Amino acid sequence: MSESNITGCILGTAMGDAIGLPYEGLSRRRAAKLLGPPTHHRLFFGRGMVSDDTEHTCFTAQALIASGGDVELFRKDLAWRLRWWLLGLPAGIGLATLKSIVRLWLGFNPRNSGVFSAGNGPAMRAAILGAAISDRPQLRSFVRASSRLTHTDPKAEYGAFAVALAAQFAQQQSSNSSTAYLAELEACLGHEAQELIELLHQAAASAQAGETSLTFAQSIGQAKGVSGYIYRSVPVALHACFRYPNDYAAAIKAIVECGGDTDSVAAIAGGIIGCRVGKAGIPEIWLDNLIEWPRSIPWMEQLAEQLQVTTETGKSSSHRGRDRTFQSHIWALPFRNIFFLFIVLFHGFRRLLPPY
Ligand SMILES: [Mg+2]
């Protein structure tokens, strides 16, 4: 792995999230009338912002840095970041994630804080694990720790692992075949994840036949938009990755066209393809028009650099300077979140008005 892989993973997640966000929950027909195609940011006068998918990916990166490869430290650190995140009143949060963080605040151990759900929460923070961890058993245990913090249905962990492994494979420039990836996934997860593996085989065959992600989504019952169920979100995200392994913008566009949970599905695929194409493969205008602070693009790039150092040295010490830089701006987060909440509410009201 190289620095550009990790940078590409974080920025790829962020841009998929930001481009997909205004379309979340809209039907395809309505999205076309109200917003038009996802060629640029459409959240706020041509600018974009990120949601929980990117925030959780950054927390996971920070927890990886703090852990220095120790899964117990990782679990505890990520749990604290989620606890504080909830106090910032995030505008978008999954129900299982909300319940689990409340349980963490009530004193539940991060091992038992999760609730039985197969929502896509664990998948949206999984690509970064695959980008940063090359050892397979270690990857498996980190994905499990991250997933179970909020979701205990084993399906959630399998879906998250499929994403993490795809990110790992995406870094190998030579490997462009879904066959090797699916064989490895099957070897790692075994029979219990058979349903997911079959869905992913279907996705690979559909991509190979040149079908659009929309056609595939329709074939698995997602004609009205891709749901937040991890066995629907992840196969559609991976379809776009199989179909456009080197074309970041085309993959994001293909996903947004499916409707439904557009920001999370695009964030998942964006994190995977970002590992392969790096920052250079992401449209510059998308990066330039993100309005985020304190978690700006340069901040995310510094985070990626720091994570790269940790993966190379196995040491967590150097992250402290980085964390301090972030904490000096922590007062800005409530203001940022209030601004973001107003934009989300504006979109909510805008949708009540024509064109229908
Ligand atoms: Mg989101």
Report d(CA 94, CA 150) in Å as an integer.
10
Residue 324 has pLDDT above 80, yes or no: no
Q: Is 326 helix (H, G, I), strand (E, B) or coil?
A: helix
Q: What distances in angstroms separate CA 234 from CA 43, 90, 119, 120, 297, one per listed residue?
A: 24, 23, 10, 8, 26
pLDDT in tens, 201-253: 999 999 999 999 999 999 999 999 999 999 999 999 999 999 999 999 999 99
What band does 82 get if pLDDT is binned at 50, 70 and 90? Answer: very high
Residue 329 has pLDDT above 80, yes or no: no
Residue 53, domain member (yes or no): yes
The rounded Å distance from CA 302 to ligand 1 centre is: 23
What band does 334 get if pLDDT is binned at 50, 70 and 90? Answer: confident
The rounded Å distance from CA 352 to ligand 1 centre is: 21
The rounded Å distance from CA 213 to ligand 1 centre is: 20
Q: Which of 315, 314, 277, 282 is nearest to 297 (CA)?
A: 282
Residue 356, domain member (yes or no): no
The rounded Å distance from CA 121 to ligand 1 centre is: 9
Check residue 328 and give its pLDDT: 63
The rounded Å distance from CA 112 to ligand 1 centre is: 24
Encoded tokens for 334: 């409530």
The rounded Å distance from CA 174 to ligand 1 centre is: 32
The rounded Å distance from CA 312 to ligand 1 centre is: 31
- Mean pLDDT calculated for residue range 142-162: 98
Number of domains present in the structure of the chain = 1
What is the residue range of 252's domain? 3-350
The rounded Å distance from CA 53 to ligand 1 centre is: 5
Residues in the chain: 356
| Entry pTM | 0.96
The rounded Å distance from CA 263 to ligand 1 centre is: 5
The CATH number assigned to the domain holding 288 equals 1.10.4080.10
Check residue 218 and give its pLDDT: 98
The rounded Å distance from CA 17 to ligand 1 centre is: 6
- Mean pLDDT calculated for residue range 141-147: 98
pLDDT in tens, 190-204: 999 999 999 999 999
Residue 211, domain member (yes or no): yes
Residue 290, domain member (yes or no): yes
Check residue 330 and give its pLDDT: 79
Q: What is the dihedral of CA 172, 176, 178, 181, to 10 degrees?
A: -10
Report d(CA 125, CA 105) in Å as an integer.
21
Contact indicator for 266, 16 with CB cutoff of 8 Å:
yes
Residue 65, domain member (yes or no): yes
Check residue 88 and give its pLDDT: 87
List, in order, residues 6 or more apart from 116 with CB less than 8 Å away. Answer: 151, 152, 153
98-107, 171-180, 344-353: which is most confident:
98-107
What band does 259 get if pLDDT is binned at 50, 70 and 90? Answer: very high
Residue 145, domain member (yes or no): yes
Q: Is 62 helix (H, G, I), strand (E, B) or coil?
A: helix
Contact indicator for 138, 68 with CB cutoff of 8 Å:
no
Check residue 92 and give its pLDDT: 83
Residue 173 has pLDDT above 80, yes or no: no
Report d(CA 261, CA 266) in Å as an integer.
9
Average pLDDT over the chain, rounded to an integer: 93
The rounded Å distance from CA 343 to ligand 1 centre is: 14
pLDDT in tens, 8-50: 999 999 999 999 999 999 988 899 999 999 999 999 999 999 9
The rounded Å distance from CA 237 to ligand 1 centre is: 14
Report d(CA 57, CA 288) in Å as an integer.
20
Give the burial class of 22: count Cβ atoms within 10 A of its Cβ; 0-12 exposed, 13-18 middle, 19 or more buried. buried
Residue 355, domain member (yes or no): no
Residue with tokens 């085989």: 201
The rounded Å distance from CA 313 to ligand 1 centre is: 32
